Amino acid sequence: MMKLLLLLSLVALSQCLVSKVTLRKGKSLRKALKEHGLLEHYLKLNPYNPASKYFPSLASTVSSEPLTNYMDMEYYGTISIGTPAQEFTVLFDTGSSNLWVPSVYCYSEACTNHDRFNPEDSSTFVATDDTVSIQYGTGSMTGILGYDTVEVGSITVSNQIFGLSETEPGDFFYYTPFDGILGLAFPSISSSGATPVFDNMMSQDLVSEDLFSVYLSNDDESGSFVMFGGVDSSYTTGGITWIPLSAETYWQITMDGVTMSGETIACASSCQAIIDTGTSLLAAPSTAVANIQDALGADSNGEISCSSISSLPDVVFNLNGYSFPVPASSYILESDGVCSLAFEAMDVSTESGDLWILGDVFIHEYYVIFDRANNMVGLSPLS
C-alpha cells in the first residue's frame, strides 16, 4: 500500500514537473525528477510508467549491448544508422573516440567484404564537407563526416556525427569480423573534433548515469556486453575499487608499479596506463617486456613452455594503492601447441611517464566501469 501511495505521489509530482518543463526550455522530465531526488524511485517503482510513452529517455536510461566474443581477442556488437535502419557490427573501443563505418564511397579491398552505409537510402542523413582521417595501432581509414540517427541497444541517438570511410588501406580491416569502430574515449582525442556517441547520449539525456560498464568473457564464452548508463550489480559482488583518471583523453590512469611474487619487475617509478577494450593484449615499453620475459623464463620472442603455466606467478598491476593480479592462465596464450606471453612491446612516452595498455587480457579479469561524471575507472574482480 505504501509503495502504491508513493508511486501515485511520484506520478502526481511528475505531472506537476511536466507543466514546469514546458515553461523552462531544455529541462527534461528526467532532469526535473533527478533534481528533486525522485528519479531512481520513479523508475524502480514504475518500470512500465506511462510517461515513457511521451518521454522516451525514461524508457532508455540503461541499455545493455551484447557483444560477440571473437577468439577472446575482439568484441563487437550491432548498431544501426539511418532511417530506415542500416545495420553494422562495430568494435566498442575505449581507446579511441570516433564512430565510423564503411560506406558505398569506399572501394578499398577491406570495404568489399563488409556492410557499407549508403546515405542515399537514409531520409535522416545530413551531409557535410568535412573529412576525417584516423590512424590506429593497426589499420587506418579516411573518409567524410555526416550526421544521422544511430541506435545502440535500446538507445536512439539523434544527429550523431560519424565517419563514412572512403579508404581503408592495407589488409587489417579486411580480416576483421566487424565493419567499423565506435569509440568510447574522450572528445579531446576525437579526430576532426567529432562528438563521440556516448557524449551525445549524455547531452541528449539518454542515460540515467553518465557512465558505462563492460564485461568481456573469456575462453570463447558468450555473455559479453557493454552497458550504457548503469552497472550490473551481479558483476560487482567482489566490491568496486575506484581509480581516478590522470588525463581526460584515453581512459588513462597512473600505475604505481608491476610486481611478481612481491618483487617489482617494471614501472618502478610509476607510469601511465590506459584501459583499452580495443587492444587484445598487454602492451608495455620494450624494456619492461624484456624484464617480464626474463622473470618468467620466456625466450626473446615471448615463447614459453606450456607445461609451466600452472607454476607461474600472477603478474600484479598496482593502481592507486591497490593490487590487480592477472594469472598465468590469462597472460599466456596457446595456439597450435605453442605458448607465448600476451605482452607486446610498444614504446610511447607521456608527460607523466611511459605508457602501458591494459587490453582485453587484463579486462577479462575485471568488470570495468567507465565513469564520465567523476572521471574515474571502477574495477571489480570477476570470480
Q: Which residues are catalytic?
A: 93, 276
DSSP helix/strand/coil, 282? strand
Phi, psi angles (nearest 5°) of residue 280: -75, -40
Cα separation, 345 vs 349, whole angstroms: 13
- Residue 91 burial (10 A CB sphere; 0-12, 13-18, 19+): buried
Length of the chain: 383
DSSP string, 191-212: GGGPPPHHHHHHHTT--SSSEE
C-alpha cell at 195: 562528438
- For the chain, count helices (H), then strands (E): 9, 27
Amino acid at site 238: G
Are 205 and 56 in contact by the 8 Å Cβ rule? The answer is no
| Short-list 382, 379, 362, CA closest to 282 | 362
Q: How far apart are the first and last CA of the chain?
A: 39
Dist. CA 331–CA 186, nearest whole Å: 28
Q: Which residues of 362-383 are buried (b: 16+ CB within 10 A; e: fewer)?
A: bbbbbbbbbbbeeebbbbbbbe
What CA–CA distance (Å, rounded) separates 61 from 205?
8
Closest by CA position to 94, among listed 360, 382, 373: 360
Answer whether 159's CB lies under 8 Å from 181's CB: no
309: exposed, middle or buried (Cβ count in 10 Å: 0-12, 13-18, 19+): middle
Q: How far apart are CA 71 and CA 360, in angstroms?
A: 11
